[in-house]
Amino acid sequence: MKLKKSFLLMVLMLVLALFLAACSGGDDDTQGTDNDPDTQGENGDDPAAEEGPVKGGTLTYAMEGEFEGLLDFAFYGIVSDAEILDFVNEGMYDYDENLKPIPWLAEWTTEDNKTFTFTLVQDDIKWHNGETLTMHDWVFALETLAHPDYTGPRYVNVQDVQGAAEFHAGTADSISGLQVSEDGQSLTVTFTEARLNNLTNLWPYPMSQKAFEGIAVADMQESDPVRKTPVGVGPFKVTNVLPGESVEMEAHADYWKGAPNLDKVIVKVIDGALTVGELETGNVHMTAFHPSILPQVQELQNVEVVEVPGLSYYYIGFKLGKWDGEKNVMDPNSKYANTQLRQALLYAIDRQAWVDAFFSGLGSPVNTPSPSAHWITATDDELPINYTYDPEKAKELLDEAGYVDTDGDGFREDPNGDKFVINFGHYDTGNPTYEARAQAIVQYWEEVGIDGELVMTEVNLYYDMIEKDDPAIEAFYAGWGTGADPDPRPLWGIDALWNYPRFVNEEADQLLLDALNIDLVGDDEEARRDLYVQWQGIMNEELPVLPIMELRDAWAISKNLKGVTIGVNGTNPANEWWLEAGE
């Protein structure tokens, strides 16, 4: 199965939080039916599907989130762009339905998890510009990410290659750990040390050297190959871009897995309020949609609703310290430093009722910052505490922690007798349900005697403030999507910028390091999982964030669109999709 790029990346960083918050397929855009989560339901026993693909037709793929228009994986910033790029370019490896890496453009061998040799699966894979893909194109991409003038966020996906640090610092002309064979078909990659996730952390996407010829790295992000005429090896090539509105593509006849059945694909941005009508009239063949319209979409006779497990989770974080430029530093005097306070705030929330009310029941409460689709995720039985809704327990913990109402106004003061108010932040995208659901959280806290004040902030500014530890942000709602490799350290490690609460626990960090240490765990997946479960146990007890929920990803797919399969690892290649005659 061809993994959607929005799921493949190891860490989607800040932009993925935006995806989870605001874009198609994320936070509020999942829904579910009783369909098999691994396949599009309409394809099963349909006679038309049995007759075989029909050539021709134009697929209209809709998204509610406006795309930014950075149409190269090395530079894209929001997942709406990645949804477009899914049609355009591909990586050296992919993932199967168990989220294990599998060969795609290349196969590989390794004996020690330090040195890998990759070989292209075919010697005639063509770029959209007619050039033949070689490993020099992949090296070009990796050196772009490591270049001192690179303006994107993905140096992290090459930094562990031997020589990358020197190249990044400008003291070397090339990355010594990248060696291309004489025929250009193989690449040997040597890492600085053996790690279990070296493969899945390595940037997989090549870039056409020819397309970027003569363009300085510092100028690439605003160049035509990124903004107007992206060149990939995928099944469709871009022919026209209307910024923020639509992208038109035509079939790549030389696609290495076979020419697409469809002639064209149009990806267009639509107002979420129009989604049901666009689906009903057949103007849109495929889209993810907001949970609030699930009942209306389910009533459509020309659409199948397909549900798949998600790789994202949502939490309420508390600022417990600061980022000092290199690492997180906790403040023992933080307003939210008291663990019992944080535990009480989670017990106070009826998370299942909240999910049912605002997400059409398409989610489930979680007790750990790891989506259940991942093999490392601890079950509730493996965790020290199961935070079921228990307002009386919340009150008990608050009493024990010294948060009591001393002036009789119905709200608790802090242990020093001072007024205590949670300034709770939530992003604002113009969706009216966001403020309602955030206010519901505040109300849960008020019911156990904790005063709260909701602060809605424009989404881009919101995440910028969180990352920069703006003092106006102290408690905040956020979410993360994970890649196919479940390593949590890029999000929760001591030296992780995206550890937004600034939580520091040496024991927890060492567990994450040990889980990647080949000398400790070898290839024993259970031993590695045990270390991750121990880490989740610490997170569950210390509770630097309140795990709220995970959502299932869901899609509306026209019954006239055939050949589509969707699973936790994304979709099959779009060259296999087809429309019934007349579409």
CA–CA distance, 90 with 582 (Å, rounded to integer): 30
| C-beta atoms surrounding 408 within 10 Å | 6
Q: Where in the chain is the domain with CATH 3.10.105.10?
A: 312-551
Name the DSSP letter for residue 41. Answer: G
Q: Which three-class secondary structure string do you get for 428-479?
A: ECCCHHHHHHHHHHHHHHHCCCCEEEEEEEEHHHHHHHHHCCCCCCCEEEEE
Q: What ranges make up the beta strands (E) of 64-122?
A: 93-95, 101-103, 106-110, 115-120
Structure tokens at 279: 């689906």
CA distance 39 to 30: 16
HSE toward the beta carbon, residue 523, CA cutoff 13 A: 4
* pLDDT for residue 14 is more than 50: no
**Pairing label, strands 236-242, 178-180:** unpaired
Q: Which helix (H) or strand (E) holds 481?
A: strand 475-481
> What CATH architecture is 312-551?
Roll (3.10)
Per-residue pLDDT for 582 more than 80?
A: no
Q: Pairing relation of β-strands 286-287 and 58-63?
A: parallel
Q: How many CB atoms lie within 10 A of CB 109?
A: 10
What pTM value is reported for the model?
0.81
Q: Where in the chain is the domain with CATH 3.40.190.10?
A: 1-86+234-308+552-583
Cα 346 to Cα 391: distance, rounded to the nearest angstrom:
9
**Average pLDDT rounded to a whole number, residues 29-51:** 38
Residues 6+ apart with CB under 8 A from 179: 187, 188, 190
The string over 69-78, giving b where at least 16 C-beta atoms fall within 10 Å of a residue's C-beta and e elsewhere, is bbbbbbbbbb
CA 245 vs CA 52, 88, 242, 249: distances in Å: 33, 18, 5, 14
Q: What is the pLDDT of residues 533-559, one digit of tens each?
A: 999 999 999 999 999 999 888 899 999
pLDDT tens across 436-487, in order? 999 999 999 999 999 999 999 998 799 889 999 999 999 999 998 887 778 8
Under CATH, what is the fold of the domain 1-86+234-308+552-583? D-Maltodextrin-Binding Protein; domain 2 (3.40.190)
Residue 222: alpha-carbon gap to chain centroid: 24
Residue 265 has pLDDT above 50, yes or no: yes
Residue bearing tokens 């021709």: 56
